[in-house]
Amino acid sequence: MFTAPEMKDVLGAARFLEGKIRRTPVEMSIPLSEAARSEVFLKLENLQLCGSFKVRGALNKMYSLSGPEKDRGVITASSGNHAQGVAMAANLLGVRAVICVPGSCPQTKRDAILSRGKGMVELRVIGRFYDEAEEEAKAAAGREKLVYVSAYEDHHIVCGQGTLGLEFLLDVPDLDLLIVPISGGGLIAGVAIAARALRPGIEVVGVHASANPSWKVAWEKEEVVPQEESETYADALSGAASRLLFPVRREVVSGVAEVSECEIARAISFMHSRHHQVVEGAGSVGVAAVLAGKVDIAGRKTGIIISGGNIGDATLLKAVAEAGDMD
């Protein structure tokens, strides 16, 4: 059963995670600030352990398991980043972990999962997109008596992700707007809870890839409706909006925006050339939204979460080449 976190829960997660993860840097983006005529700050979670914010929630959840739960072992579904955090924790705790990923999970992420698990992980490739892998993971949890560890519909996961928002607001306490990648919704739910506790008037906007329109449709229809996905640079944003978390996010999220594949490619290239940062497609969607004018930031001090950097060399080169063709 999911219990919506409060700020005290996020603070508890922050205390637990201190020394176990990196407090990633916040960097002012001079080119974005000059273009928008407002200050823009980037929270660089691409520099986090495992290459993304997901390790925050995964460690917080895995270390909360009871002795009998650890003995049973765990199973999870992931598009690639959450799995790396679970694999890392499984190795540290000596817990068997079965990890289901979709076919869209890049080989670089599959290799990293196995490497971080160091023999404690069994990797299963299920279907094409995230929702298929999640369905099988939940079914297998029942069949094999494993503990299911959700990538987003979990109290400890959301609290762990919320520590990112806590850090961002402690570093830049007067932000007016926070732009967050959105898929299942664990990140934006946790971040918004922390950010609004510290700065009640802050706006929080989610950004997703147009290749996965689940959030756009859910926002417009006031309910989560199944949608078809297509291949995207933002493979980490695969999967439908969470029916469980949607009501929570409706209370704390100001709006959503979507970006195209060309816009994501441009943002990946922008982060590489202008900030010398390797950022995956999902981590680039906030920058993509600002570059494309999908979110109005004029006159507002803005924070953008760069959620991850797990991108393969070939995909990075493809994005840079595509962005160059648009110039």
The pLDDT value given to residue 238: 85
**Range 273-300 average pLDDT:** 96
The pLDDT value given to residue 119: 93
Containing 208, the helix (H) or strand (E) segment is strand 203-209
User: Does residue 101 surpass a pLDDT of 90?
Assistant: yes
Give Cα 116 distance to the centre of its chain: 19
Paired tokens of 179: 């732009």
Paired tokens of 188: 């934006």
Paired tokens of 47: 């520099």
3 state DSSP class of 63:
coil
User: Does residue 218 surpass a pLDDT of 80?
Assistant: yes
User: Does residue 82 surpass a pLDDT of 80?
Assistant: yes
The pLDDT value given to residue 327: 58
Tell me which CATH code domain 55-148 carries: 3.40.50.1100
The pLDDT value given to residue 215: 81
User: Which of 141-145, 185-189, 287-291 has the lowest average pLDDT?
Assistant: 185-189
User: In this predicted model, what pLDDT tens digit does every residue of 232-260 receive, in sequence order?
Assistant: 999 998 887 788 887 776 778 899 999 99
Of the pLDDT bands very low, low, confident and very high (cuts 50, 70, 90), residue 1 is low
The pLDDT value given to residue 134: 95
* Beta partners for residue 62, in sequence order: none
Assess whether the region 7-51+158-326 and the region 55-148 belong to the same CATH fold.
yes
The pLDDT value given to residue 26: 98
The pLDDT value given to residue 303: 98
Please name the residue that has the structure tokens 């507002």.
300
User: In this predicted model, what pLDDT tens digit does every residue of 183-201 receive, in sequence order?
Assistant: 888 999 999 999 999 999 9
**Range 84-93 average pLDDT:** 95
Mean pLDDT, rounded, of the chain: 94
The pLDDT value given to residue 249: 67
The most confident of 69-73, 211-215, 230-234, by mean pLDDT: 69-73
User: In this predicted model, what pLDDT tens digit does every residue of 117-131 receive, in sequence order?
Assistant: 999 999 999 999 999
| % residues pLDDT > 70 (the chain) | 98
Which fold would CATH assign to domain 7-51+158-326?
Answer: Rossmann fold (3.40.50)
Q: Count the neighbouring beta carbons within 10 Å of the beta carbon of residue 223.
A: 11
Q: Which of 69, 68, 49 is nearest to 59 (CA)?
A: 49
Where are the domains positioned within the chain? Answer: 7-51+158-326, 55-148
The pLDDT value given to residue 326: 67
